Chains A and B, each alone.
Chain A
Amino acid sequence: MAEVRIRDVRKSFGHVEVIHGVSVDIADGEFVVLVGPSGCGKSTLLRMIAGLERISDGQILIGDRVVNQVPPKERDVAMVFQNYALYPHMKVYDNMAFSLKLRGADVGDLDARVRRAADILGLTALLDRFPRQLSGGQRQRVAMGRAIVRDPQVFLFDEPLSNLDAKLRVQMRTEIKELHQRLTTTSVYVTHDQIEAMTMADRIVVMHDGIVEQIGEPLELYDNPRNTFVAGFIGSPAMNFVRGTVRANGGPGRLEAGEGVSFPLGDGWSAHDGRPVVYGIRPEHLVMAEPGQPAVDGEIAVVEPTGAETLLVSRIAGAEFQAVFRERHAFRPGERVALAPLLDKVHLFDAETGQHL
């Protein structure tokens, strides 16, 4: 096991720079998730840690060693690929044993390690099968087995659950997390799915357009997003945003959003009187307004019950707002509804920079 330090790493393909100076410190035994929309550079960063892409500038350290010039096989990392990358002509056993065989490992030791990994992942009965004869989840497990067998310093996961169906994805998510708790090997996990990131990570690195937007523990990112990108990316359904101007007018302020619509604000925003801002409120922080409570009035557009909760889409000031209710209400499309934001959960961002105020 080892810590991984990424220092001002840049990556260019030709003249196009796709990663613009990323720095992340990953502690020994930590499970870090790189998350972001496609094209944000998260996979490229992971592949640079693995040694599959050259590092254009900056340094990556595994343990105390700068690995910029170290070939992949000497970095002591194991990688799980999105499409599993199992060798189709080798049985499960041979797939898992391949790296050890290449190193000329002692046959008895090799066998013991393969069987131990197979035991951990529940693959013992499948050792004699070819990858084609396995289901998606089983293949994914073999891919992890291949990584475990080597007992590497760092596990790298490149969107390992993207090819699985939704149910299996949730199940494998738990399995990977359990596996990490058991092996405590430093892990870097790439995904575009923020739910995966939230549920699995010790810490999340949110990336966007080749830069790090924010690094933090899952709930920290959820509670204190640094900017509109993180606020909108973390959390599902996504945070509602509306542009407007802060009006303090003495007591509790409000946000003028145009078309005569205004959103209530709590105390403490008076310093920003007259400032153009982006007002953010999460769907779960909108409640049915009590009489007299400051609220916004909207028209119900769509009602989506999921059983445990109900998603309400309503139109306010020409924009669609999502609200989530755990209790059941008799909503009907076309009706009016008064929604009250929880004032201490409101986020204001600068209208130009998108930074949290």
Chain B
Amino acid sequence: MATDAERVRAQETAAPIDLWTRLKYDRNWLGLWFMLPAAAFLLLFLTYPLGLGIWLSVTDTRIGRDGVFIGLENFEWLNQDPVFWLSVFNTFLYTIVASILKFALGLYLAVLLNNHMPWKAIIRAIVLLPFIVPTVLSAIAFWWIYDTQFSIISWTLTELGLISENINFLGEPNNARASVIAANIWRGIPFVAITLLAGLQTIPQSLYEAATIDGASRWQMFRHVTYPMLTPIIAVVMTFSVLFTFTDFQLIYAMTRGGPANATHLMATLSYQRAIMGGNLGEGAAISTAMIPFLLAAILFSWFGLQRRKWQQGESDD
């Protein structure tokens, strides 16, 4: 064993390492180098716009004129604004109804697609179609489907003798809400279905065989095997689904621009209208900033939903 004196001598005789060599070869510094591009990317494209948005929301900036700090005045103003509160209501209605239906239908479709069937690969590809089509394009298609005069739905129902005059899909507030929700569901199902399908395929076949021999019916297998095994994936999918739906803009803007009478204005579309079309960047930014608490709540919900279940943890002996 080396004495203290020997150790001190060893340190003195070791060649001094200059700073540049350390920066090049030290593990910790190396880690920093590797992290830098990603960090710069995040700062530039995520943190900066978010910070700027929040800053704008506490100023009275307009397009073409720098604003000054006005504190929470924008938010006080919005609090008095019935249109803003209508958009909050719309956003919640849109998100809750669409997410629940997307989940239910997506799960149903995933379970269906998980069965053996002919042309499985092709059917799965077809299911993905709504997700592949550009949003604006599908919005235009829906716009046409919902057209007051030429709607194919109205036409079919008329031909079948079920209605006598065309349905005013996008002209009447509640009809318009239902219509845009339906379009969103159509567009969102593939994401839910395909992701849940991927989750379903990770469930070992032998569990179903064991359940079959244990005497489980198809519903009991779903209830006691499929669903509990799928919960971690469901948490991820539904978090993303809720975030996408809550912040949806394209579909609404292309179909209704928030009309009729602001009945389909979501917070995102209202923010765009006030900030870009109306020029009130500060006020628009304030609407966007007001979305942050809700989105944070959704993320926190998923954070706890994503916590590994007790049964997924365990000893590391396998």
Nearest chain B residue, comparing its CB with the CB of A139:
B318
Nearest chain A residue, comparing its CB with the CB of B212:
A72
Interchain CB contact under 8 A, A132 and B214: no
Interchain CB contact under 8 A, A132 and B212: no
Interchain CB contact under 8 A, A132 and B213: no
- Bound together, the chains give a CA A52 to CA B211 distance in angstroms of 11
B233 within 8 A of A: no
- Bound together, the chains give a CA A106 to CA B143 distance in angstroms of 59
Interface of B is mostly: helix
B16 within 8 A of A: no
- Bound together, the chains give a CA A130 to CA B220 distance in angstroms of 21
B210 within 8 A of A: yes
Interchain CB contact under 8 A, B313 and A132: yes
- Bound together, the chains give a CA A130 to CA B318 distance in angstroms of 14
Residues of B within 8 A of A50 (CB): 209, 213
Interchain CB contact under 8 A, B207 and A89: no
Given contacts A73-B212, A98-B224, A130-B310, contact A135 B204 (CB under 8 A): no
Interchain CB contact under 8 A, B220 and A89: no
Interchain CB contact under 8 A, A89 and B309: yes
Interchain CB contact under 8 A, A99 and B214: yes
Given contacts A81-B209, A88-B229, A89-B309, contact A132 B314 (CB under 8 A): yes
- Shortest B122–chain A CB gap in Å is 20
Interface string of A55-91 (1 = CB under 8 A from B): 0000000000000000011000111011101111110
Residues of A within 8 A of B311 (CB): 88-90, 130-132
B235 within 8 A of A: no
B228 within 8 A of A: yes
B4 within 8 A of A: no
- Most chain A beta-carbon contacts within 10 A, residue among B212, B215, B216: B215
B225 within 8 A of A: yes
- Bound together, the chains give a CA A223 to CA B231 distance in angstroms of 56
Interchain CB contact under 8 A, A73 and B215: yes
Query: When A and B form their complex, what is the total count of cross-chain residue pairs whose Cβ atoms lie within 8 Å?
Result: 74
- Shortest B216–chain A CB gap in Å is 6
Interface string of B203-242 (1 = CB under 8 A from A): 0101101111111100010001100110000000000000
A136 within 8 A of B: yes
- Bound together, the chains give a CA A22 to CA B126 distance in angstroms of 44
Interchain CB contact under 8 A, B315 and A79: no
A133 within 8 A of B: yes
Interchain CB contact under 8 A, B213 and A73: yes
Interchain CB contact under 8 A, B317 and A135: yes
Given contacts A79-B210, A98-B224, contact A85 B204 (CB under 8 A): yes
In-complex Cβ contact of B212 among A52, A83, A89 (8 A): A52
Nearest chain B residue, comparing its CB with the CB of A152:
B213
In-complex Cβ contact of A136 among B206, B213, B318 (8 A): B318
- Most chain B beta-carbon contacts within 10 A, residue among A72, A85, A86, A146: A85
Residues of A within 8 A of B229 (CB): 88-89
Residues of B within 8 A of A51 (CB): 212-213
- Bound together, the chains give a CA A336 to CA B285 distance in angstroms of 94
A102 within 8 A of B: yes
B312 within 8 A of A: yes
Nearest chain B residue, comparing its CB with the CB of A91:
B311
Interchain CB contact under 8 A, A88 and B206: no
Nearest chain B residue, comparing its CB with the CB of A74:
B215
Interchain CB contact under 8 A, B210 and A85: yes
Residues of B within 8 A of A328 (CB): none
- Most chain A beta-carbon contacts within 10 A, residue among B210, B228, B310, B315: B210
Since A81-B210, A131-B314, A133-B315 are in contact, a sample of 19 more A-B pairs with Cβ atoms closer than 8 Å, ordered by chain A residue number, is A50-B213, A51-B212, A52-B212, A52-B213, A73-B213, A73-B214, A73-B216, A78-B213, A83-B204, A85-B210, A98-B211, A99-B214, A99-B215, A102-B216, A131-B311, A132-B311, A132-B315, A133-B314, A136-B318
Could you list 27 examples of A-B contacts with CB < 8 Å?
A: A51-B212, A52-B212, A52-B213, A73-B212, A73-B215, A81-B210, A82-B206, A83-B204, A85-B209, A87-B224, A89-B228, A89-B229, A89-B311, A90-B311, A98-B224, A99-B214, A102-B214, A102-B215, A103-B215, A130-B314, A131-B314, A132-B313, A132-B314, A132-B315, A132-B318, A133-B314, A135-B317
What residues make up the interface of B, taking CB atoms closer than 8 Å to A?
204, 206-207, 209-216, 220, 224-225, 228-229, 309-315, 317-318
Which 8 pairs from chain A and chain B are nearest by CB?
A: A132-B314, A73-B215, A99-B214, A85-B206, A85-B210, A89-B228, A130-B311, A89-B311
